[in-house]
A and B are shown apart, each in its own frame.
Chain A
Amino acid sequence: MNRNIPPPLKIKKRLTLVDCLLYGAVALLIFYAAYRVNDVLIYHWNWSKVLGFLVKFDDETQSWASNLLLQGLWTTLRLALWATVLATVFGIIMGYWRTCQNLTLRIISRTYVELIRNMPPIVFIFIFYFFVSSQIFPALGIEDIDSDGAFASSTIFHFMFGDPRLFSNFLAGMICLALFEGAYITEIVRAGIQTTEKGQWEAARAIGLSPFNVLRDIVIPQAVRKILPPLAGQFITLIKDSAIISLISIQELTFVATEVAATTTRVFETWILVGFMYFVLCYSFALLFAHLERRAKRSQR
């Protein structure tokens, strides 16, 4: 029997009265906000001043270069990428420890996760800044890293870590973010390991695989598949959370934006533009991850 017969009636999608009312309400709200700004506050929009901070024409090299805001965006992106790599390393180690038999390892990882999850991010960042990056970094001699050395001044270094003169500043921000997000990744990794069915462990043991091979061949490949989507979501969260480290003078997008807003006195324009920049950045990643996830699903079939 041919089972690919469409049903006789197609359900039509159309706007109902409720939909129209909701759209109307939203439009009204936007209109009112615009009215307040333009006619009550008498605000003179001036976008050109702020947009000038995106790109500038460099007289020395006779070419266009990214200005403060775009530089801030690149710093944010670099921070997010490196912090995600580092946070994933923390997360994998701590997440594995969370599932270990060894009590000490479980206590260490549990303490780490609970400390960070039960503290406001700002407080954690201040503690980190005043204790770690202003006390321990100098003690380790990180401040004295040769910022004029061959590698530090190469374009590769510049592309990966930004301005070498700001490297220790960048490092502090990155470690701080990584520690913070690592706690959440720890929980994602733990869930990934623990949701691997008991039967899979048993079957793997029953065919005589060693404990190491059970993990490597059976548990981890399955856990990774489950972990990747929430990990991608955590990466986007990390981009947004990176705004908070502007408080310790890391020169990423939000920090730069406060400076631009102050010097131009164009507060609305600056923050709308910066909000838009964050949105474009995060939403493009969200679309990219959704695309990759769909493709991975299709290839599994």
Chain B
Amino acid sequence: MSENNTDTPLVEIAGLSKWYGDFSALHDINLTVASGEKVVVCGPSGSGKSTMIRCINQLEEHQVGTIMVDGREVKPGMKNIEEVRRDVGMVFQSFNLFPHLSVIDNLTIGPMRNKGYSRVQATETAMHFLERVHIAEQADKYPPQLSGGQQQRVAIARALCLKPKIMLFDEPTSALDPEMIAGVLDIMIELAEEGMTMICVTHEMGFARKVADRIVFMDEGEIVEVADPENFFNNPSTERSKLFLSQLLGH
């Protein structure tokens, strides 16, 4: 993991647009994320936050614009997309652990298949990251036997096992019971403090305040506002972000 070196861009999104049929899901998105930077993406549901970060590892295919990840352009139908995906860790809202594999096998399958690790090597790496997410004692269990918070921590460890250059979080705490959220956020904060480059779609504004270098506010498929947390929370510059914040922090 590199130093907080905010000069070299790791992800560059330029003029990105995407449609589902005739529905415009993303419109002219421009965003550059530097190495070591932590970006929090927020906005109302259906605003295209998830779609945008899913374009970065091509789980969604875009139609217009360019996306560069660590100097390589990713585009629909490209041959070696797997190589890019190995550099991009992703954590999903619904965990998506493989239910037929034990926790340890969930973690080792990627490195063994992609990086040609032996089982011993892969297990060593996996145990290292399981310890980091404080869940090493569950290694031999199966995902359905774990709580939601534990499953999400395993999912984070699974992504880390590939030693990614950037981590994408797609609403990682939205499917969790309230008492499970803190454990997952703590792990994410630790990761951030170690200098991991992160793009997080989340509604956890406390987390955003603490960790984010920049907040990206999206609405109706567009980036409406980009600001540092202090400015975003205290002086939102657009009506839409004001409305969103008042609804989020209203009660």
Interface positions of A (Cβ within 8 A of B): 197, 199-200, 202-210, 213, 217-218, 221-222, 225, 300-301
CA distance A46 to B158 in the complex (A): 72
- Selected contact of B162 from candidates A197, A202, A207, CB within 8 Å: A207
> Nearest Cβ distance between residue A8 and chain B, in whole angstroms?
33
User: B114, A206: Cβ atoms under 8 Å?
Assistant: no
Q: Does B218 contact A (CB under 8 A)?
A: no
Q: A202-B59, A207-B159, A209-B110 are in contact. Are A218 and B96 (CB under 8 A)?
A: no
Main SS at interface, chain A: helix
Please indicate the chain A residues that have their CB under 8 angstroms from the CB of B88 in the complex. Answer: 206
A207 near B97 with CB under 8 A, answer no
The smallest C-beta distance from A198 to any residue of chain B, in angstroms, reads 9
For B113, list chain A residues within 8 Å (CB).
Answer: 209-210, 213, 217
User: Is B22 part of the contact surface with A, judged by Cβ < 8 Å?
Assistant: no
Contacting residues, chain B, for A204 (C-beta < 8 A) = 98
Chain A: minimal CB distance from B90 (Å) = 4
Residue of A199, A208, A218, A225 contacting most chain B CB atoms (<10 Å): A208
B31 CB–A CB distance under 8 Å? no
Chain B residues, Cβ within 8 Å of A217: 109, 113
What residues on A are CB-neighbors of B100 within 8 Å?
Answer: 221-222, 225
| CB <8 Å contact, A208 and B83 | yes
Determine whether the beta carbon of B92 is less than 8 Å from that of A199: yes
Do A208 and B86 form a contact, CB below 8 Å, given A213-B113, A217-B109, A300-B142?
Answer: yes
Q: Assess whether B162 is in contact with A208, with CB atoms less than 8 Å apart.
A: yes
Shortest Cβ distance from A229 into chain B, in angstroms?
16
CB–CB A207/B96 < 8 A: no
Q: A200-B98, A222-B99 are in contact. Are A208 and B92 (CB under 8 A)?
A: no
Closest B residue to A212 by CB, please name it. Answer: B113
| Contact between B92 and A202, CB atoms less than 8 A apart | yes
B57 in the interface (beta carbon within 8 A): yes
Once the chains are docked, how many angstroms separate the CA of A202 from the CA of B96? 8
Bound Cα distance A256, B232 (Å): 85
CA distance A21 to B97 in the complex (A): 54
Asked if B82 is an interface residue, CB under 8 A from chain A, the answer is yes
A208 close to B82 (CB less than 8 A): yes
With A206-B57, A208-B83, A208-B85 already in contact, the answer to whether A199 and B96 are too (CB < 8 A) is yes
C-alpha gap A200/B158 in the complex (Å): 14
Chain B, range 75-113, C-beta contacts under 8 Å to A: 82-83, 85-86, 88-90, 92, 94, 96-100, 109-110, 113
Min CB distance A57 to B, Å, is 54
The smallest C-beta distance from B143 to any residue of chain A, in angstroms, reads 11
**A301 vs B140: C-alpha distance when bound (angstroms):** 12
Residue of B nearest to A217 (CB): B109
**How far, in whole Å, are A204 and B113 apart by their CA atoms in the complex?**
11
Cα A106 to Cα B89 with chains together (Å): 34
Find out whether the CB atom of B109 lies under 8 angstroms from the CB atom of A205. Answer: no
CB contact under 8 A between A205 and B85, given known A213-B113, A221-B100, A225-B100: yes
Instruction: Provide a sorted-by-A list of 15 A–B residue pairs whose CB atoms are within 8 angstroms.
Output: A200-B98, A202-B92, A202-B96, A203-B98, A205-B59, A205-B85, A206-B57, A206-B90, A206-B159, A207-B159, A207-B162, A209-B109, A209-B114, A213-B113, A225-B100
B83 and chain A: residue at smallest CB distance:
A208
Chain B: minimal CB distance from A242 (Å): 34
Interchain CA distance A207-B86 in the complex, whole Å? 6
Query: Which residues in B have their C-beta under 8 angstroms from that of A199?
Result: 92, 94, 96
> A222 to chain B: which residues have CB within 8 Å?
98-100
B168 → chain A closest CB, angstroms: 8
In the complex, chain A residues whose CB is within 8 Å of the CB of B82: 208-210
A207 to B85, CA, bound (A): 6
Question: By the criterion CB–CB under 8 Å, are A203 and B85 in contact?
Answer: no
A217 to B108 CA separation, bound complex (whole angstroms): 12
Q: How far is the CA of A300 from the CA of B158 in the complex (A)?
A: 22
A272→B83 CA distance, assembly (Å): 66
Q: In the assembled complex, how far is the CB of residue B75 from the closest CB belonging to chain A, in whole angstroms?
A: 16
**Interfacial residues of chain B within 109-154, with CB under 8 A of chain A in the complex:** 109-110, 113-114, 142, 145
